[in-house]
Structure 1
């Protein structure tokens, strides 16, 4: 029994020593785990930082590459424009094909570079003004059409302008063609955009102008006999003294148009919208006006001999010559 306390003391010391070594081992393991975690986080942050700066560098390289590409495209456009203008300046009958090449190059350039469309329009308008000038005396003294058809390059330039890509943009909306004398018989101008264009005394005989926008256009004294104008917009257009004999004007908008002394003999005006049009002195002999809208239209000074007014729309503001019966509504 004397040795029992000693054994208990020895067992106690062994247990305390074991617990100390276990605690030290656990603390070391926890510290190692913490350090490993911190190192992992730092590594991730370093990788993220590297990726960020690499991405920034790549973006800068891409920006510079795009900028260089844009500069190259701009230079290419400038070169194409300069070559086309040079081709337009090649004078002489033997250089017609070269001038035509320049015109069609500019047409393509308008589509490829919308920002240059206004400049190209100005160049082509200047080309037409220089190659189809109105002779003196003033136009108002020239009721006859130009003696010859406009040259092929003038014709091509006009057709290209009439079908320009973005006519609704304000900078592209008008064609600057004053003091020109155009002869474009049989021209293909369907869906053309010619609003506000000066086409006074132009020869457009038998031209195809269906669905064309000719609103506010100046067609004073123009020659439009047998022209196809079906569905065209001629609202507020100036057609004073125009030759429209046999012209196809079905479903045309002629609201507010000036048709004083216009020759409309045998013209097809079926379903035409003539509200507010001025037809004083117009010759409508044998014209087809069936289903036309004649509301607020003054026809009192017009010649309507043998005109077909059946089913024409009218109201109390419609004014007809005294010898013409009121159309049935």
Structure 2
């Protein structure tokens, strides 16, 4: 009987041990399968990342090549446009005025579109002015030709005056620029001596440190102009509208201000000692006009007197 019990217990133990072993093998298999799945997902993820990086690198390279090709094409177009514009300027025949004007305004367009070309355009247009308005002692100076006036207009409204080479009008005669219309013109620091801007419209012009020696600015609208440091040696400004203008440190030696409107203008500064009371005798001033020490303002309404009448030619 006891032997039978031992056999039963042995049988139950064997069955329990077998079942536990089977369960353990099954658990190991499930864990291994899960780990393998995770590892497979990681491999796929790494592959996707590497593929994406490669694609991005290829795309960036393609974009770089495309940009370089585009830049090269743009440079070629700029060069072609510049050459064509300069070629138009060189058409000297009398019936080619419209062609020359087209070249001038084509250069202006290039200067505005491509700031790096500004100095080059300025040099070309200044050379054009010098060659078409050369210095002469002949007192009978004809009006400036339309193409010279156009070149001066473009130069006077150049887009970045503070960051370019100086305008060079050396050995020129700019006596034919009457009725020049360019509000806000910028000719700062330029030699405009022996020039004639009579009856021109130049309000808010920047003429700081400009040389206007022996120039003619009669009846010119210079309201609010910045003329600090200008040389007006023997210049004529009869009936010029200088109201609100900055005339500090101006050299007024021999300047003719007969009939000029100096309302609200500032004429003070170190070099303003060259201004005399006699020069202001026929000018219009008001309470806002600032005069140098020792210079007396004109009598009220003196500029309207008969002896202060200005020439109308």
Fold match (TM-score > 0.5):
yes
SS state at 1:239 partner: coil
Residues in 1 aligned to 2:209 and 2:299: alpha-carbon distance in whole angstroms? 30
Given that residues 215 and 233 in structure 1 are in contact (C-alpha distance below 8 angstroms), is that contact kept between their aligned partners in structure 2? yes
Q: CA RMSD in A?
A: 1.8
Q: Does structure 1 retain, via aligned residues, the 8 Å contact 2:210–2:231?
A: yes
Whole-Å separation in 1 of the counterparts to 2:300 and 2:78:
56
User: Within the alignment, does 1:152 sit opposite 2:149 as a pair?
Assistant: no
Measured against aligned partners, the alpha-carbon deviations of 1:288-314 in whole angstroms (never above 9, x if no partner) come to: 121211144x648xxx764669xxxxx
Residue 169 of structure 2 is aligned to residue 177 of structure 1: yes
- Unaligned stretches of 5+ in structure 1? 137-141, 310-329
Candidates 226, 229, 239, aligned match of 2:232: 239
- Which residue of 186, 203, 219 corresponds with 2:212? 219
Question: Which residue in 1 is equivalent to 2:201?
Answer: 208
Closer/same/farther in 2, CA of residues 299 and 178 from structure 1, 3 Å limit: farther
For residue 92 of structure 1, what is the aligned residue in structure 2? 93
Q: Which residue of 1 aligns with 2:305?
A: none
Question: CA–CA distance in 2 between the matches of 1:104 and 1:246?
Answer: 33
- Match in the other structure for 1:19: 20
Give ranges in structure 2 of 5+ residues lacking alignment: 303-313
**Which residue does the alignment assign to 1:274?**
267
More helix by share: 2
Q: 2:159 aligns with which of 156, 165, 168?
A: 165
Question: How many pairs were matched up?
Answer: 296
Offset, 1:282: 6.2
- Change over 3 Å in CA distance of 1:307–1:99 after alignment to 2: farther
Aligned match of 2:253: 260
Distance 1:282 1:5 in 2: 147
After the TM superposition, which residues 112-123 of structure 1 pair with which residues of structure 2 at under 5 Å, given as runs? 112-123=113-124
Partner of residue 284, structure 2: 288
Report the Cα distance in structure 2 between the residues aligned to 1:151 and 1:306, rounded to whole angstroms. Answer: 43
CA-to-partner distance for each residue in 1:38-68, whole Å, 9 max, x for gaps?
1110111011001101100100000110111
Tell me, in whole angstroms, the C-alpha distance in 1 between the residues paired with 2:244 and 2:214.
22
Residue 76 of structure 1 pairs with residue 77 of structure 2: yes
TM-score (norm. length: structure 1): 0.86
Indicate conservation of the 8 Å contact 1:259/1:282, yes or no: no
Q: Provide the residue aligned with 1:8 in structure 2.
A: 9
For 2:14 and 2:27, locate their aligned partners in 1 and report how far apart those are by CA, in whole Å.
Answer: 20
Whether the 8 Å CA contact 2:133–2:144 is kept in 1: the answer is yes
The question of whether the paired residues in 2 share the 8 Å contact of 1:220 and 1:242 is answered with yes
Give the Å deviation of 1:200.
0.8
Aligned match of 1:198: 191
Tell me, in whole angstroms, the C-alpha distance in 1 between the residues paired with 2:105 and 2:205.
21
Cα distance in 2 for partners of 1:154, 1:12 equals: 118
* 1:108-165 CA distance string (max 9 Å, x none): 11011110010000000000000001114xxxxx8x6x63210000000000000001
